[in-house]
Chains A and B, each alone.
Chain A
Amino acid sequence: DIQMTQSPSSVSASVGDRVTITCRASQGINSWLAWYQQKPGKAPKLLLYAASSLQSGVPSRFSGSGSGTDFTLTISSLQPEDFATYYCQQANSFPPTFGQGTKVEIK
């Protein structure tokens, strides 16, 4: 199975900050990568797929980039509702695998 490694595991930031989260795959996955947001006690929410395509209804302050093994999720101006845990997931090969998560906390 492909291993997905996220960094950092947590980040403290303030409203209005730019936040970047990194995800690395153990082997090349082209652009078959998704990002999810999860708030405590809630279902994960798809933010981006195909590395950089924004899911319908997701604010444009979220963006993604990368291909191959290295990917980033950027929140351009952190909003109060963005404090959550973020997961990457590869969809290049079966089975789908997830990163361990990055918790975005209030500074």
Chain B
Amino acid sequence: QVQLVESGGGVVQPGGSQRLSCAASGFSFSNYAMYWVRQAPGKGLEWVAVISYDGSNTYYADSVKGRFTISRDNSKNTLYLQMNSLRAEDTAVYHCARVSVGFCVITSCSYFDYWGQGALVTVSS
């Protein structure tokens, strides 16, 4: 069965860095675009970044552009999110999510059929 398991969360000081990983299994990882979606405590869902199935295209929310980098290693079935210059407002649970259609153009495929449980990142001094 499809599984997405995030790791790498923790407490980090403002201005610090953290790297999240999302290990995928149960499907052909290299066929699907992948998202990071975050959820601040008690708040709703906010897209953060997306990467195409082959890693050739990426997009970022304005709130993280220039600070976060999404990447993937299809040989390891793993998605990453490198977060730099972290701020208190980045505190959230970060979920990785799979788009529901394989090989789609990432600006045209935005239903999410599988999600990980999330990794909590707390930015605090």
Contact = CB atoms under 8 A, between A and B. Distances in A.
B44 A100 contact: yes
Interface string B89-125: 0000001010010000011111111011110000000
A94 B33 CA distance: 14
A42 B118 CA distance: 8
B117 A44 contact: no
Contacts of A91: 109-111
Interface residues of A, number: 21
B112 A44 contact: yes
A95 B110 CA distance: 8
A46 B113 contact: yes
A23 to B, nearest CB: 12
Contact of B112 (A42, A46, A99): A46
B41 to A, nearest CB: 12
**Chain B interface residue number, banded:** 20 to 34
B47 A96 contact: yes
B61 A95 contact: yes
A99 B110 contact: no
Nearest to A85: B44
A55 interface: yes
B111 A46 contact: yes
Given A43-B95, A43-B118, A95-B61, A101 B44 contact: yes
A98 interface: yes
Most chain B CB atoms below 10 A, which of A87, A94, A96, A100: A96
A45 B77 CA distance: 22
Nearest to B105: A94
Contacts of A104: none
B111 A87 contact: no
Given A34-B111, A36-B45, 15 more contacts: A34-B112, A44-B45, A44-B95, A44-B112, A45-B115, A49-B100, A89-B45, A94-B106, A94-B107, A95-B47, A95-B59, A95-B110, A96-B35, A98-B45, A101-B44
20 contacts: A34-B111, A36-B112, A41-B117, A43-B117, A43-B118, A44-B95, A46-B111, A49-B100, A49-B111, A89-B45, A91-B109, A94-B106, A94-B107, A95-B47, A95-B50, A95-B61, A96-B35, A97-B47, A98-B46, A101-B45
